């Protein structure tokens, strides 16, 4: 496969488009009724797992700086919030299915879920801002344009990999999906070189 060079503008634009898509998924989840959250929640978790895996494989590990270390720390913190959000969503699904049989098992409050979703969104927005405006300019200045081109190719693969039913990223826990996506992106990068 032929090497492709990319500019800071191209990679920043592609990453910004991915972040905008992410905000749309969060908005859809926020506006879904409690009983209709399962599908948008799984879609958000799947997309976020693939997105974070792409960033980790192609961007954050490309050139280790204080900025990239901070982005990786932010991703670990966001993953904790994601796991809490997933547990709250799962707890509601399970308790709503068994509520008639077991009225004692009350689902988590809608407020708990929305607070966790707001925390996740704030965390991701701060992360995206730093990524686009701090980390990418450093990487674009320090790395060969071909490597920046590889970053762009991986970022452009995210939506297809996250949304394709035939994708090797099977629905599961956030961690499982992220690890599967990391493997796929590493394989894709090895084929670029």
Residues 6+ apart with CB under 8 A from 59: 15, 68, 71, 131, 135, 136, 139, 151, 154, 155
Cα distance between the two ends of the chain: 8
Q: Which of 29, 146, 127 is nearest to 86 (CA)?
A: 29
DSSP conformation class of 35: G
- On the question of pLDDT at 21 being above 90, the answer is yes
The per-residue pLDDT for range 127-180, each reduced to its tens digit, is 999 999 988 998 889 888 888 999 999 999 998 888 866 677 877 888 899 999
Model pTM?
0.83
Domains assigned to the chain: 8-192 (1.20.120)
The total number of residues shown for the chain amounts to 193
**pLDDT, position 104:** 46
**pLDDT, position 92:** 56
């Amino acid at each position: 496969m032929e090497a492709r060079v990319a500019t800071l503008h191209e990679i920043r634009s592609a990453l910004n488009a991915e972040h905008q898509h992410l905000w749309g998924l969060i908005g859809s989840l926020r506006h879904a009724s409690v009983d209709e959250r399962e599908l948008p929640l799984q879609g958000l978790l799947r997309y976020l797992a693939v997105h974070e895996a792409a960033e980790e494989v192609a961007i954050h590990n490309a050139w280790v700086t204080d900025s990239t270390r901070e982005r990786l720390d932010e991703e670990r913190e966001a993953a904790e919030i994601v796991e809490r959000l997933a547990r709250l969503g799962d707890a509601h699904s399970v308790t709503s299915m068994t509520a008639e049989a077991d009225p004692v098992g009350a689902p988590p409050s809608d407020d708990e879920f929305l607070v966790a979703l707001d925390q996740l969104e704030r965390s991701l927005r701060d992360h995206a801002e730093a990524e686009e405006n701090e980390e990418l300019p450093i990487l674009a200045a320090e790395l060969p344009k071909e490597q920046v081109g590889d970053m762009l190719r991986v970022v452009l693969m995210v939506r297809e990999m996250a949304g394709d039913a035939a994708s090797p990223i099977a629905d599961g826990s956030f961690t499982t999906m992220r690890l599967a996506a990391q493997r796929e992106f590493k394989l894709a990068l090895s084929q670029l070189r």
